[in-house]
Structure 1
Amino acid sequence: MRMKTLFASILATALISTAAAQDVKEFLGRWDMTVTPATGKPYPQWIELTDNGGKIEGKVQPRGGAWHPIVGAHVDSGKLIVDLGEARPGTDISWELTSPSAGKLTGIEKRGGDTGPTLAGMKAPSLDRPMPKKWTKPRPLFNGKDLTGWEPIGNVENNKWVARNGELVNDNPEVLGQKMRPAANIMTTEKFQDFKLHIEVNCPEGGNSGIYMRGRYELQIGTEGGKLPSHEMGAIYSWYPPPAGAENNLGKWTSYDVTLVGRHITVYRDGKLYHDNVELPGPTGGALDSNEAEPGPFYLQGDHHGVIAYRNITISVPKK
């Protein structure tokens, strides 16, 4: 009898473990998330969940700033409870997620004990595409005369973008001792999928901007103070730092040549290789949306500070 009881106990434990593993499996992978608050517009986030020997680990990309690891996660009554850490001291954020069907997530966000925005997720696409064999002739995205083909976004009531002397300029100088109002960003009215981009920029010392590919992946322009290499000039923001020993070299014109195919990106700065066909795991902070399968615009950050100028912006796309 004791042997039967022991066997039954072991079998029950094994069945529970198997069921739990199956429950976890539904949530693993990369997810493009949309967060919808009770008031205001929906905004993008991103999460990746992995199983490390039975322990759920992961990374989360908030609305802005850098990605960070999750604190932990566990399955409870068919829901995945993800501890994202503190939003501010004393206020923890968690996600309660369910998987109603393959490739989809739904859920709610909780801050402390309060129920917050609703969550919707789609399994991130692989975007695994071969390098095109032929490209179109480069054509200008900026005509050097006016803002045709571009439109301000974000803080549009404080738009500082102007066309001046053949340059696209965010005329937003920093005033020492004065708190600056966030200014507008600016984006192309046209959207793109795979491309080759050439762009030149002059960012002053202490300036901070960014070039967003498809409106989702930021190439850092300028500096955030030098504390984190992945937040400095030429980084793929928070994912990949510039090459070791690379200097910001602000206050002078510099050029970038960017090739983006699927989710793989190659970046040259002034002819020097910075990123060699590296994979973009997901959107960076400040992305316009999380619809990674869709084409998107270029957008330039103007909501920080500095009189930052861009010029000679050209685009090539795969030949059909």
Structure 2
Amino acid sequence: MKTKILFASLLATAFVSTMAAQDSKAFLGRWDLTVTPSTGKAYPQWIELKENGGKMEGRVQPRGGGWHPIAGAHLESGKLIVDLGETGAAASTTWELTTPSAGKLTGIEKRGDAADGLTIAGAKAPSLDRPMPKAWTKPRPLFDGKDLKGWEPIGNVENNKWIARNGELVNDNPETPGRRGPGAANIKTTEKFQDFKLHIEVNCPEGGNSGIYLRGRYELQVGTEGGKLPSHEMGAIYSHYPPPAGSELGLGKWTSFDVTFVGRHVTVLRDGKMYHDNVEIPGPTGGALDSNESEPGPFFLQGDHHGVIAYRNITISVPKK
């Protein structure tokens, strides 16, 4: 009798473990998220979840800055409880996530035991696995050097410092010695793009910080964040891929970037030198406009940091139809 009870207990345990594993599989993969606070505008994030040796692990992209690993995740009553592992908070931050249907994600955020008013909606990130186009259109200018036609400020538009000057697109937001200037507006193209070849030249002063957002979601870093993290320095795919080891910042002078972006694979040359060779960008970087990865998006240039940043000779090619 005891043998039968023990066997039944082991069978039940195995069944529960199998069901838990099946349930956890629904959460695995990359998810594009829209986070909506109780007040204010919704903003994009993303999370990637994997299973390793029976344990859930992953990484999350916050609203700004770089991605970081989660502290852990476990199933509880059909919900996935994700410990975001954020430091400096008075109480731990967790997400309670459910999958109401295949490829969809919903949830709430908690600080300690209490919900903080944030709601989360997500969809499985698309693969964006597309072949390289066989032919491209002739490059055409996105900036005519005379005015801001085809561009519009976003963000802190009341403090827009973008001007056309001497054939350059300039964020005229100088720093006061010893004190950074106020955050100014960003600027984006009114036109949206899917796959493309971009040529752009930039002159970023010493200590300056800007960025070129591809489709408005993926940042090619311009300038410096102090040198502590190579993946946050000039020419990096922000937080994902640093520039080649030993690359100079090259601040205070003109430098060029040639970017080929197809699907989520990007190749970047700086002044003719290979920086990133057909690397995959796993998800939107901090500061992205949205998380709608399957859709075309604009280019946007950061102006909300600091420094008089100048851009020129901005041209675009797209796949021939």
TM-score (norm 2): 0.98
Per the alignment, in what secondary structure is the counterpart of residue 85 of structure 1? Answer: coil
Letter of the structure 1 residue corresponding to residue 53 of structure 2? G
Cα deviation, 1:111-134, whole Å, max 9, x if unaligned, reads 223312110000000000000000
Aligned to 2:126: 125
Aligned to 2:278: 277
Aligned to 2:9: 9
Unaligned runs of 5+ in 2: none
Aligned equivalents of 2:110 and 2:152: distance in 1? 35
Letter of the structure 2 residue corresponding to residue 145 of structure 1? K
Asked if structure 2 preserves the Cα contact closer than 8 Å seen for 1:87 and 1:93, the reply is: no
Range 2-11 or range 296-305, more displaced: 2-11
Q: How does 1:82-231 map to 2 (within 5 A)?
A: 82-86=82-86, 88-115=88-115, 116-231=117-232
Per the alignment, in what secondary structure is the counterpart of residue 4 of structure 1? Answer: helix
Aligned equivalents of 1:216 and 1:155: distance in 2? 18
Per the alignment, in what secondary structure is the counterpart of residue 121 of structure 1? Answer: strand
Letter of the structure 1 residue corresponding to residue 183 of structure 2? P
Q: How does 1:2-81 map to 2 (within 5 A)?
A: 2-81=2-81
Aligned equivalents of 1:279 and 1:141: distance in 2? 25
Does residue 307 (structure 1) correspond to residue 300 (structure 2)? The answer is no
Aligned equivalents of 2:225 and 2:147: distance in 1? 30
Does residue 247 (structure 1) correspond to residue 248 (structure 2)? The answer is yes
Shift, 1:179, TM fit: 4.9
TM-score (norm 1): 0.99
Letter of the structure 2 residue corresponding to residue 33 of structure 1? L
Aligned equivalents of 1:6 and 1:63: distance in 2? 50
List structure 1 runs of 4+ shifted beyond 3 angstroms: none
Per the alignment, in what secondary structure is the counterpart of residue 306 of structure 1? Answer: coil
Shift, 1:180, TM fit: 2.9
Does residue 298 (structure 1) correspond to residue 311 (structure 2)? The answer is no
Per the alignment, in what secondary structure is the counterpart of residue 286 of structure 1? Answer: coil
Aligned equivalents of 1:128 and 1:178: distance in 2? 45
Per the alignment, in what secondary structure is the counterpart of residue 11 of structure 1? Answer: helix
Range 87-96 or range 38-47, more displaced: 87-96
Shift, 1:88, TM fit: 3.0
Letter of the structure 1 residue corresponding to residue 288 of structure 2? A
Identity among equivalent positions (%) equals 81
Shift, 1:178, TM fit: 3.2
Cα deviation, 1:256-284, whole Å, max 9, x if unaligned, reads 00000000000000000000000000000
Cα deviation, 1:21-70, whole Å, max 9, x if unaligned, reads 01100000000000011111110000000000111000000000000000
Per the alignment, in what secondary structure is the counterpart of residue 84 of structure 2? Answer: strand
Aligned equivalents of 1:283 and 1:92: distance in 2? 25
Letter of the structure 2 residue corresponding to residue 32 of structure 1? D
Shift, 1:87, TM fit: 5.6
Aligned equivalents of 1:56 and 1:38: distance in 2? 29
Alpha-carbon RMSD: 0.8
Shift, 1:136, TM fit: 0.3
Shift, 1:85, TM fit: 1.8
Cα deviation, 1:181-226, whole Å, max 9, x if unaligned, reads 2100000000000000000000001000000000000000000000
